[in-house]
Structures are given as C-alpha cells and as structure tokens.
C-alpha cells in the first residue's frame, strides 16, 4: 500500500482550508453538500466525494446536504434518485433533513435569471447552436460577439418570458450571461444559462420547458443552502471564475467558496457514468448492480462491506494532483477489512472425489470446525466427515514436484479439522482424466492433530459427500483487460472477455445455506465470497468478493485470463 497522500492522520488540504477558515472567522460553521446528477448509479469515485463531504461535515460539527442536481430531465429518472439515496446510506452517511433538489429552486433561479437580464448581464440569443459554437472561438482565438448581444433589456425580458411560456420549440434560443467573448477562460465567453427543453421532469412535471444549465444552477443552489465549502473535482476548476461571477452579480443570500480535489481513478476500471450507462444499455453487464461494475450497488453485491470502501478512500487520501490508484490497493483494503470479521467456511470450487479406503462404509463422524481463527467468540460449528469427501482438483498432481505439499501418490496431507490422509492412487476415466483419489487415513490423527509428532506440510480444505450442497459460484475479474481502458480508442474494445467465470458444480458445506445475502465469508484457502440474491435454497449462488492473494497483478501483465486462486493461498 502506497503512503496516503494525506499530510498526517486524517488531514488533507481541504481540511486544512476549512480549519483555517474557522480559525480566521471566515466561516462560523461548516456546511457541505454532495450533488449527484440522478442520471445513473453512484460509483466508487462518488464514494470519495461522499466520504469527503460528509466526513468533513462530521469532523467539524457541521452538516452535509444531499442535493440532486436534477436540471436535465431528459436523462434523469426516479430509479436513479432512489438508488443514490440507498447507496449513500449504505456507505454510512446520513443527510438528516437536508435532502434537496436543484429543482426545488427553479422559481428562485428563474427570478435571478430575470435579475441578470434587468441589470444588463444576460441576453436571449437566437444564434443556431452550430454558429454559436464557431463564434465561441478557441483556446488561442477570442470568440465573436453574437449579433443578439445588444438587444435591449425590454426585448430580452420579453423573449425570456416567452421562452418560459413555451412559445418556442427546443433549440430556438437560449439565455446567455453577458461576460466577455475574448476571455482566456472559455467558460466566461457568454455561457448559456437557460435552454429550452420540452420534457417532463421527474419532480416538476410539465411546469417548466426551460431548464438552467449546471453552471447556473449549481453555485446558486449552494448559496441558497448556505453551503460554506463547495467541494468538487478538478474538472470544475475552470468553472470557478463563472461560479464566482454569478455569485457576485446576483442578490444571493450567502457566498459559498468552491474548492477542487483530484477525482478518483483506478486502474482497469472506468469511472464515468456515460460509459457505465453504455455497459448497462448494451448489456455488457446484467445491470447497474452487476458485481463487476464499479458502482456502489455492484460492489455491495460482490460482498464488499461499506467499511472497506471508507477505509480505501481514507488510504487514498485527498490531493490536488490527478493519479491512478492500483486496483490491487482496493483488493488489499477489502481483504484487510474482511479478514478480522468474516467467518470461515469450507467450499470446493472444482471438486475431485476422494475415497478413504480404510474408513468404514456408511459411517460418518461429526467434527468441529472453528468459525474464526483469531476470534474464539465466533464459536464453532459441526462438519460431517465420512468415507467419501471432495477436495479441490488443483490439490492433486500426479507427477508432483518436490515442493507440492498437497496430494500426490504416496504423499500425506492434513484434511482441515479432520485427519491425516495419504494418497494411494488416482482413478482415471477413459480419457485419462483423474476422477477419483483413493486414500487411507490415520485414525490417530483425529481433529487434524499429529499422532506422533510427524509433520505434514499441507492442509487442505474439503467438504463431506454426505451433506455437501451443490452451488454455483461466480468468479469476477476486472471488467476491462487493460489498466487504462479506452486509451487506444473505443473503451468497449478493451472489455475483458474473462471478466466472469461461472462454476456450476461447486460443493459447499451446509452451514453456508445460512449465509446472509451480500455478507462475505471466507472460503478457506479460496478467498472471500458472499451469497447472491440470484440464489435459491435448491441452488445457492455465491460471488467471489476477492481472492486471498493478488493473483490478478501477476497474470495481467502477461495475458487476460480468469485469474485462478492461488492454490496454496492462505488467509
Ligand atoms: P461522470 O461520471 O460522467 O463524470 P459525474 O460523476 O461527474 O459524471 P455527478 O453526479 O455530477 O456525475 O457527480 C457528483 C459528484 O461526484 C460531483 O461533485 C463530482 O465531482 C463527484 N465525482 C464524480 N466522479 C468522481 C470521482 N471519480 N472521484 C471523486 N469524485 C467524483
Ligand atoms: Mg458531473
């Protein structure tokens, strides 16, 4: 794990700014907000913003608002509004009574737009979109003034009111701020404040057919709510002069300040709602909560606890420099979070039958397995041993190298919580595939304890044939096959064809039928897994949350493949 970018425990430049503002009396309290646009599900990048905004408010005894930036009715849906609230709560944050919508302020925003018109700071422009784009100029050339820039206040007021009244179809005209077409900052070249959009809004219905742009709605909503520190990602840095210009030219009730931090980027992941929407719409994934998605809903379904995401965000820290975090850091944090709490169970992903020849036919024995090696209070559970059990196919090798401390003819291993067994021979089918192992056990090694001090190097997990439950287990690998998806063109071309591997013949111990959906447990030696909502009592389904070791990093350089769990990995 790389050193966090925070300067010292829990501090970063945003927190330093806030502390300084409080110390100097520039702010009496701290009010922040998290302002999602409800046009998709939240992803892990949003988690960084949520943890920062809500975290800062908590630490400084302030409040954080959840505000839906619902200014584009064409793309916004109630499903997204509900999902966002669910996900923020799941992440562990509470906005209390401070749930707001930019649409709550439409009337006030409209009044302020008229104020700009009346003070000569805004005008209605009929220039067609195409021409408007070319008049905007470039980074090196100034823009040109629109011929409509010199309309009188009366004419502008009349036209703007008629825009609102629905007299014009979409795209006929817009309301623009009158700032400076020669500004070095493109955002100040008479930015659009209102556009015509005949669309039904999820909250305001058909009350409006003109909608404010992000730039016009955002800062003014901050001001209405008394936001003291409007914290956003770096792509809004160039918008700050406009943010401040609007606050200066309007009779707003407070003067919020905007601060920018670097957005979260993670290797092999895409954190862009536009791309995530395409993945869902084009059915590259099963939905927004597909466990391969970087959405909070997907990550939760994969079995990752909210605490792991909060800890990940804390470790990454808050900085002003853009960077890409290694996906292995996320996996490591998930392991670190789950290891102390997740109960241990046994499951065999790719079963191979093992018959103990000197065990009496028809006889079974109940043994005890501990639920957590470091936490006696987690208790024990009974497991059933017998003449036939199943082990992992990978735990047998016919011509094994010396260091293969698992099953091979003549080698002895410990079966976890059970007995020492020695492999006598392997039974093969007509094609030469090993289908069964014949073994003997040492009755004196009950509980897996050495009877005479002799050592075995390997301890294998297993499930008993008498009560094993058949299950489907879904293994997930990164959705994209390269660390910088889309760097060479179409991001969809970089989808990892091996992002999902479904194993249908898995065998799990019966206690796993009680595993709550979404709550990860450790399958000994195999990783962390959680029950999926697709499962039924007859056909349980488990998701791999994360393997025990970072096998992806090792293989990803060479080729994209379904990362195999390290066979001798231990938790
Ligand atoms: P897109 O993913 O298409 O860029 P968006 O994530 O910006 O869209 P919003 O709903 O506007 O969509 O985001 C809400 C807030 O979350 C914004 O304040 C934004 O700065 C923040 N945010 C978005 N992505 C990230 C990220 N990767 N890291 C940190 N914060 C983010
Ligand atoms: Mg955005």
Residue 37 C-alpha to ligand 2 middle, in angstroms?
A: 7
Mean pLDDT of 156-167: 98
Query: Among positive and negative, which fits the CA dihedral 403, 338, 368, 565?
Result: negative
Shortest-distance Cα residue to atom 10 of ligand 1: 36
Rounded distance, CA 41 to CA 116, Å?
35
Residue 2 has pLDDT above 70, yes or no: no
Q: Please identify, among 461, 495, 519, the residue that sits at the C-terminal boundary of a domain.
A: 461
Is 547 within the bounds of a domain? yes
- Host domain of residue 83: 13-261
Q: pLDDT grade, residue 550 (50/70/90)? A: low
Mean pLDDT of 220-243: 98
Shared-domain flag, residues 41 and 166: yes
Is 438 within the bounds of a domain? yes
At residue 9, the pLDDT reads 52
Q: pLDDT grade, residue 549 (50/70/90)? A: confident
Ligand 1, from 32, 36, 84, 258: best to mutate by most atoms within 8 Å of Cβ? Answer: 36
At residue 551, the pLDDT reads 55
User: Residue 302 in 3-state DSSP?
Assistant: coil
Is 563 within the bounds of a domain? no
Ligand 1, from 49, 91, 491: best to mutate by most atoms within 8 Å of Cβ? Answer: 49
- CATH number, domain of 278, equals 2.40.240.10
Shortest-distance Cα residue to atom 27 of ligand 1: 45
Q: pLDDT grade, residue 561 (50/70/90)? A: very low
Q: pLDDT grade, residue 244 (50/70/90)? A: very high
At residue 494, the pLDDT reads 98
The continuous run of DSSP H or E covering 332 comes out as: helix 327-338
Residue 558 has pLDDT above 60, yes or no: no
Shared-domain flag, residues 241 and 297: no
Is 565 within the bounds of a domain? no
Q: pLDDT grade, residue 564 (50/70/90)? A: very low
Which of 118, 421, 244, 283 shows the shortest CA–CA distance to 292? 283
Shortest-distance Cα residue to atom 18 of ligand 1: 232
Shared-domain flag, residues 248 and 313: no
Shared-domain flag, residues 125 and 248: yes
Residue 6 C-alpha to ligand 2 middle, in angstroms?
A: 24
Looking at the structure of the chain, the number of domains it has is 3
- 3-class SS shares of the chain: helix, strand, coil, % to 5: 30, 25, 45
Shared-domain flag, residues 178 and 60: yes
- CATH number, domain of 32, equals 3.40.50.620
**pLDDT tens readout for residues 292-313:** 999 999 999 999 999 999 999 9
- List residues with catalytic annotation: 37, 263, 273
Shared-domain flag, residues 314 and 385: no
**Average pLDDT along the chain:** 94
Shared-domain flag, residues 357 and 400: yes
Residue 73 C-alpha to ligand 1 middle, in angstroms?
A: 18
Is 568 within the bounds of a domain? no
At residue 556, the pLDDT reads 44
Residue 46 has pLDDT above 50, yes or no: yes
At residue 109, the pLDDT reads 98
Shared-domain flag, residues 416 and 477: no
Shared-domain flag, residues 457 and 490: no
Shared-domain flag, residues 254 and 206: yes
At residue 354, the pLDDT reads 98
At residue 568, the pLDDT reads 38
Mean pLDDT of 362-386: 97
Contact 64, 57 (CB under 8 A): yes
Is 507 within the bounds of a domain? yes
Q: How crowded is residue 259: how many other Cβ atoms within 10 Å of its Cβ?
A: 16
Shared-domain flag, residues 414 and 455: yes
At residue 566, the pLDDT reads 38
Task: Give, in order, the Cα–Cα distances in Å from 14 to each of 21, 51, 55, 504, 565.
Answer: 11, 13, 11, 49, 40
Residue 285 has pLDDT above 90, yes or no: yes
Residue 555 has pLDDT above 70, yes or no: no
Residue 263 C-alpha to ligand 1 middle, in angstroms?
A: 8
Is 451 within the bounds of a domain? yes
Is 8 within the bounds of a domain? no
Q: Please identify, among 238, 261, 284, the residue that sits at the C-terminal boundary of a domain.
A: 261
Pocket of ligand 1 (CB under 6 A): 35-37, 45-46, 48-49, 232-233, 263-264, 271-274
Q: Please identify, among 397, 430, 461, the residue that sits at the C-terminal boundary of a domain.
A: 461
Shared-domain flag, residues 308 and 236: no
Give me the percent of the chain exceeding a pLDDT of 70: 94
**pLDDT tens readout for residues 443-471:** 999 999 999 999 999 999 999 999 999 99
DSSP state of 205: B
pTM, two decimals, is 0.93
Ligand 1, from 36, 43, 46: best to mutate by most atoms within 8 Å of Cβ? Answer: 46
Mean pLDDT of 9-32: 93
Residue 103 has pLDDT above 90, yes or no: yes
């Amino acid at each position: 794990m790389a050193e966090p970018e925070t300067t010292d425990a829990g501090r970063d430049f945003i927190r330093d700014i806030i502390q300084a503002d409080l110390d100097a009396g520039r702010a009496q309290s701290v009010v922040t907000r998290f302002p999602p646009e409800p046009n998709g599900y939240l992803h892990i990048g949003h988690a960084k913003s949520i943890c920062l905004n809500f975290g800062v408010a908590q630490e400084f005894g302030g409040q954080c608002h959840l505000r839906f930036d619902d200014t584009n009715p064409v793309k916004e849906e109630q499903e997204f509004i509900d999902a966002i609230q669910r996900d923020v709560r799941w992440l562990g944050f509470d906005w209390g009574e401070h749930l707001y919508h930019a649409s709550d302020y439409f009337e006030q925003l409209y009044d302020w737009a008229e104020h700009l018109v009346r003070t000569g700071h805004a005008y209605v422009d009929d220039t067609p979109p195409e021409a408007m784009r070319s008049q905007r100029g470039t980074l090196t050339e100034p823009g040109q003034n629109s011929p409509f820039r010199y309309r009188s206040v009366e004419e502008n007021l009349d036209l703007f009111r008629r825009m609102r009244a629905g007299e014009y179809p979409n795209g006929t005209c817009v309301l623009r701020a009158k700032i400076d077409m020669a500004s070095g900052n493109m955002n100040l070249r008479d930015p659009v404040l209102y556009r015509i959009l005949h669309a039904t809004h999820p909250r305001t219905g058909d009350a409006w057919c003109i909608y404010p742009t992000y730039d016009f709605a955002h800062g003014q909503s901050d001001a209405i709510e008394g936001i003291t520190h409007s914290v956003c990602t770096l792509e809004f840095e160039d918008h700050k002069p406009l943010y401040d210009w609007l606050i200066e030219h309007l009779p707003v009730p407070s003067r919020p300040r905007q601060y920018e931090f670097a957005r979260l980027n993670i290797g092999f992941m895409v954190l862009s709602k536009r791309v995530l929407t395409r993945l869902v719409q084009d059915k590259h994934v099963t939905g927004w909560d597909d466990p391969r998605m970087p959405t909070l809903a997907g990550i939760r379904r994969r079995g990752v606890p909210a605490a792991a995401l909060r800890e990940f965000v804390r470790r990454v820290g808050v900085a002003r420099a853009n960077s890409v975090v290694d996906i292995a850091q996320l996996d490591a944090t998930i392991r670190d979070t789950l290891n102390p709490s997740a109960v241990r169970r046994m499951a065999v992903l790719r079963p191979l039958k093992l018959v103990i020849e000197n065990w009496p036919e028809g006889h079974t024995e109940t043994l005890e397995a501990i639920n957590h090696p470091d936490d006696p209070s987690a208790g024990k559970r009974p497991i059933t041993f017998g003449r036939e059990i199943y082990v992992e196919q990978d735990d047998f090798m016919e011509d094994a190298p010396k260091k293969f401390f698992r099953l091979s003819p003549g080698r002895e291993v410990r079966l976890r919580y059970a007995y020492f067994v020695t492999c006598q021979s392997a039974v093969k089918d007509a094609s030469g595939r090993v289908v069964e192992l014949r073994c003997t056990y040492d009755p004196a090694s009950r509980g897996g304890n050495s009877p005479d001090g002799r050592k075995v190097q390997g301890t294998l997990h297993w499930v008993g044939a008498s009560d094993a439950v058949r299950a489907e287990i879904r293994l997930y690998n990164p959705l994209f096959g390269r660390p910088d998806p889309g760097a060479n063109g179409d991001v969809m071309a970089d989808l990892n064809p091996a992002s999902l591997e479904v194993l249908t013949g898995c065998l799990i111990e019966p206690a796993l039928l009680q595993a709550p959906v979404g709550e990860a447990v450790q399958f000994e030696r195999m990783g962390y897994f959680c029950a999926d909502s697709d499962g039924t009592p007859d056909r349980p389904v488990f998701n791999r949350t994360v393997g025990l070791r970072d096998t992806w990093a090792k293989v990803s350089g060479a080729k994209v493949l379904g990362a195999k769990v390290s066979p001798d990995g231990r938790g």
